[in-house]
């Protein structure tokens, strides 16, 4: 999402509030980078001129280090990310949360209440065991008054690279994300097929959609993100 917005020419900030398992530095290819203190505040790490990233991963001395923190300490860190980072001008701030409905989620919603965030994008896989958690996350959003922009179904099908047979690796035993979205009355945004090159791109810190623009999954990502942007900002001056 952040990559997509950045490629559209927007000024994008990406904030990783998964304190105990920050993966954004790796995915963005910026592992080993550090946040720097300036007179204006913490300076984020720039992936591109118009894509700036903040993550606790940039504060670790070595990548295996564990952040063994209870909730209150995590909340303080999130507050600091919001208060003390000097972002320059931003068109979009994308926030990556861990799964669940606990401290990180309560804190970010509470701290951002005044700014009226556009909403939450929720990712699931097709099987019921994932949807079970996602339903709770949607209930959370409704309770705290955060709009649900929609649900993306990830890892929907796998196409054998040899014989092209489609397999539903995580079977949608209760109807998958589409049916769940109908039941919970939230928008269904689309499905992404499972492509081993996605995991590989993440590991290599590369943007899968740029690397493999013609893949089925890239086409799905692009459609989903395009629809989302139109939904958030139908009158965006830059796209006119």
Binding site for a copy of itself (CB under 8 A): 19-21, 23, 26-27, 63-72, 74, 98-103, 105-106, 127-129, 132-133, 135-140, 143-144, 158, 160-163, 165, 167-171, 173-174, 184, 194, 196, 199-200, 202-204
Q: Is 4 helix (H, G, I), strand (E, B) or coil?
A: helix
Residue 100 or residue 213: which is nearer to a copy of itself going by CB? 100
36-38 and 41-43 as β-strands: parallel, antiparallel, unpaired? antiparallel
In order, the DSSP letters of 168-221 are -SS--TT-HHHHHHHHHT--EEEE--B-HHHHHHHHHT--HHHHSTTSHHHHHH
Which tokens belong to 194? Answer: 């499972």
Residue 34 or residue 167: which is nearer to a copy of itself going by CB? 167
Shortest Å distance, C-beta 210 to a copy of itself: 18
Shortest Å distance, C-beta 205 to a copy of itself: 10
Place of tokens 């499905």: 191
Residue 165 or residue 240: which is nearer to a copy of itself going by CB? 165
Shortest Å distance, C-beta 107 to a copy of itself: 9
Residue 200 or residue 226: which is nearer to a copy of itself going by CB? 200
Which tokens belong to 63? Answer: 């990548």
Angle at 11 between CA 9 and CA 17, to 5 degrees: 130
Residue 135 or residue 231: which is nearer to a copy of itself going by CB? 135
Shortest Å distance, C-beta 18 to a copy of itself: 9
Shortest Å distance, C-beta 166 to a copy of itself: 10
Place of tokens 């919970």: 184
Residue 185, phi then psi, degrees to nearest 5: 55, 50
The sheet with strand 188-191 has its strands ordered as 120-124, 148-153, 188-191
Residue 13, phi then psi, degrees to nearest 5: -110, 140
Shortest Å distance, C-beta 43 to a copy of itself: 24
Q: How far apart are the first and last CA of the chain?
A: 20
Residue 87 or residue 158: which is nearer to a copy of itself going by CB? 158
> CA-to-CA distance for 153 and 171, rounded, in angstroms?
12
Shortest Å distance, C-beta 184 to a copy of itself: 8
């Amino acid at each position: 999402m952040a990559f997509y917005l950045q490629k559209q020419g927007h000024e994008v900030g990406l904030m990783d509030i998964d304190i105990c398992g920050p993966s954004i530095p790796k995915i963005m290819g910026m592992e080993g980078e550090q946040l720097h203190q300036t007179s204006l505040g913490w300076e984020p790490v720039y992936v591109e001129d118009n894509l700036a990233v903040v993550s606790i991963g940039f504060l670790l001395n070595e990548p295996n280090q564990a952040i063994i923190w209870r909730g209150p300490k995590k909340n303080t860190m999130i507050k600091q990310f919001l208060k003390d980072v000097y972002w320059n001008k931003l068109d979009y701030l994308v926030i990556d949360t861990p799964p669940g409905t606990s401290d990180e989620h309560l804190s970010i919603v509470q701290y951002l209440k005044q700014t009226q965030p556009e909403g939450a994008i929720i990712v699931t896989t097709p099987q019921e065991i994932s949807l079970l958690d996602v339903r709770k996350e949607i209930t959370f959003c409704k309770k705290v008054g955060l709009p649900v922009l929609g649900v993306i179904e990830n890892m929907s099908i796998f196409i054998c690279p040899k014989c092209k047979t489609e397999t539903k690796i995580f079977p949608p035993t209760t109807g998958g994300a589409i049916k769940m979205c109908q039941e919970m009355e939230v928008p269904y945004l689309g499905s992404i097929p499972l492509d081993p090159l996605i995991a590989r791109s993440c590991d290599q810190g590369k943007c899968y959609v740029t690397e493999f623009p013609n893949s089925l999954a890239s086409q799905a990502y692009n459609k989903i993100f395009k629809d989302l942007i139109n939904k958030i900002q139908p009158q965006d001056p830059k796209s006119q």
